[in-house]
Amino acid sequence: MDGIPEEDYSPMYLAIIERYKDYIEDRESISVAELPRLISPKSEAVLSKIGEIKQELSPYAYNNDFKEAARRAFYFVKDKVKEVLLPLQFWFTPEETLAFMMGDRMDKGILLCSMLVALGNPSAKVLMRIKGEEKKILVHYEFGEKTFVMDIDDGINEFPSKEKMLEWLSIGEDTIAYEFNNQSYIDIN
């Protein structure tokens, strides 16, 4: 191919993005209440990945295998999907995150939540907590009378209840927190 070698595209793309950042962010704007539409457990790409996980646990039975399947989905997203920080606010769909095998923390959370719902657990939600300068993106779900939190930094934590999980997250009046999945969006505080 004539022209610029593929490895030299990145600086050029970055320059274009920087120049048109405001325009892109204006067009990309999505309100937090619209975030549920990004969770797509029925997409072909998500179902294909879930099919691979279920095949490893064949025959997959939700009550017996969900916890292990969820763990495998978490480590797939944590270890295989490369973390990138874009210089602008832009959300990838789970399909795009899987196609590129990269995304930011929110993209990874949206993909993981989509995978957990596709594995049969509609309680799975992405949780965003903002406290001062700290922004935390987690995925949590309920299974077998317990609440599980999946955090790219801290791994998988188990709590006896959702209330104990929220206590652990220190969500107070000085915190902005919300959670969502494909069915709902809820302000936590």
Give the span between the Cα atoms of 154 and 158, in whole angstroms.
Answer: 12
pLDDT at 19: 66
| Domains along the sequence of the chain with CATH | 34-187 (3.10.620.30)
Nearest CA to 28 out of 90, 106, 98 is that of: 90
**Residue 180 is inside which H or E element, if any?**
strand 175-180
Is residue 15's pLDDT more than 90? Answer: no
pLDDT at 21: 64
pLDDT tens figures, 126-136: 999 998 888 89
